[in-house]
Structure 1
């Protein structure tokens, strides 16, 4: 019998394309270790089943399940059926902030919860196949349609039964195979940044929230995620700003302030570095939805659905 193949995450576990949409329809390899990417992950199980170790809980997705979780915390596809086929994508944060989801869902996802719904139908496998094809076509219009249709599909989750796992009282613990000391620290850091990135925060504030020394916080986070604390905070802010800029009444200066930048010059500099264009050019060229999703804070809590 042939030896089983495994997916080997990068040495530090992080995927390095945080601002790019990645769609897939595949039979994935079981992973040897957890990985991390600064995007929201969407999974639709076409056939078979998949088991993940998340940061703080285990979850199994079965055929017909649609799941959504924040990839910015360690997760590990550690087991799967031999016939597993799943579709989905890695959604850049700009699209996550555009989603019209109940406020508690958006906040819980950023804090490490997994959304799972079994309310799917025969159109879903066909749609995920088309979205994957469009996203990989090289056609800008098709890629844009893939994003828009996927977002609408996710937003429809609110009209049917779904679960948010684990429950609100669950205690976050390390994922097996990760450093037993650093993983809970990274979780605390990500939680604090998700709740406070629009405020004036620095490494000292983040370290204090995680109850560790600032230098240790920076080293642990960089080792675990491949990103510096400053780069991660800026990515959150820029993604949030991009979502705001897609609104019809967006004012660049107000967006800069609302996204956590202390000045317009700092906003323009960071925006050009990540997006490759000015905020004004982005607002003119990339705004693509007739009506933008409302922006919600990520620190609200509510009972699980």
Structure 2
């Protein structure tokens, strides 16, 4: 168990002049957040940002273009775009879209909905998905959901949440396209129970609350009152990845944003995102991206100039 524990050690991030860039994606989780809806004209973002919810985008009147971790992604008008927003992203071209619905769903609610495990697997691994069908939801419905989610009557709020869940259920039935890669090549384990989802939600929240302190698998398991091996097993079943893989992927997400949006040195970035040595950072980055971090930065600059 000591070897597993050591692999999860995290170091505190350093400060950065850009407030969002200094926030680790690992910190972005709360079981207390509610579903939030915005309905507004899309606009170009000057830099990457991220947050902890699953984001649903519905551009109206025209296609919109994003850069997600250095990759250009276009969401077509009237279609549903879907991704876990802890992946650094920014909208770069609102096109002719005059309005866009933006629905942010807390991860614990998303994991608890009766959706395709393949869709959930792709989302938790950083994929950007788009519904094959257009016009699965109207502008009128988005406005109604926005109002009902703020309604004083809990039954009204629950109805809006259920209807949003059913919208994604329709995406599962009609099919979706993967606009940006993600997902595991391993077989999908079906039927994660509410019991498992509850404990995984608690583990994600604990990791978020302690992301800037040394953290071990034993501590995570003890927090939720489970044996470490059992805790790791249900995390893997729900998230389709290990806790170590989750922590590492969030670190790499953060590093990619810093490489893109700042001039900070590689060693500085390595320490900021939680690696204890530049060699470990180089090795892990190479394994995830197929290139060293300095080459990744150079390619981004060439593409965006």
TM-score (normalised: structure 2): 0.52
Q: 2:113 maps to what in 1?
A: 99
For residues 180 and 68 of structure 2, the distance between their equivalents in structure 1, rounded to whole angstroms, comes to 10
- 1:298 equivalenced with 2:255 (yes/no): no
For residues 172 and 128 of structure 2, the distance between their equivalents in structure 1, rounded to whole angstroms, comes to 14
Which of 44, 49, 60 is matched with 1:46 structurally? 60
Structure 1 residue 144: Cα displacement: 2.0
- CA RMSD in angstroms comes to 3.9
Counting only pairs closer than 5 Å after superposition, residues 67-106 of structure 1 correspond to structure 2 as 67-106=81-120
For residues 58 and 98 of structure 2, the distance between their equivalents in structure 1, rounded to whole angstroms, comes to 11
More helix as a share of residues: 2
For residues 9 and 80 of structure 1, the distance between their equivalents in structure 2, rounded to whole angstroms, comes to 24
Unpaired stretches in structure 2, ≥5 consecutive residues: 1-17, 185-198, 227-236, 243-305
For residues 54 and 264 of structure 1, the distance between their equivalents in structure 2, rounded to whole angstroms, comes to 33
Q: Deviations over 1:25-74 (max 9, x none)?
A: 11132211111111100111222221111125321112111111001111
TM-score (normalised: structure 1): 0.52
Q: 2:142 maps to what in 1?
A: 128
Which of 69, 76, 99 is matched with 1:55 structurally? 69
Q: 2:300 maps to what in 1?
A: none
Cα distance change, pair 12–265 in 1 and its aligned pair in 2 (3 A): same
Cα distance change, pair 17–109 in 1 and its aligned pair in 2 (3 A): closer
Q: 1:25 maps to what in 2?
A: 39
Structure 1 residue 118: Cα displacement: 3.6
Cα distance change, pair 107–30 in 1 and its aligned pair in 2 (3 A): same
Query: How many pairs are equivalent?
Result: 191
- 1:262 equivalenced with 2:214 (yes/no): no
For residues 50 and 209 of structure 2, the distance between their equivalents in structure 1, rounded to whole angstroms, comes to 11
Q: 1:229 maps to what in 2?
A: 211
CA contact (8 A) 1:49 1:84 kept: no
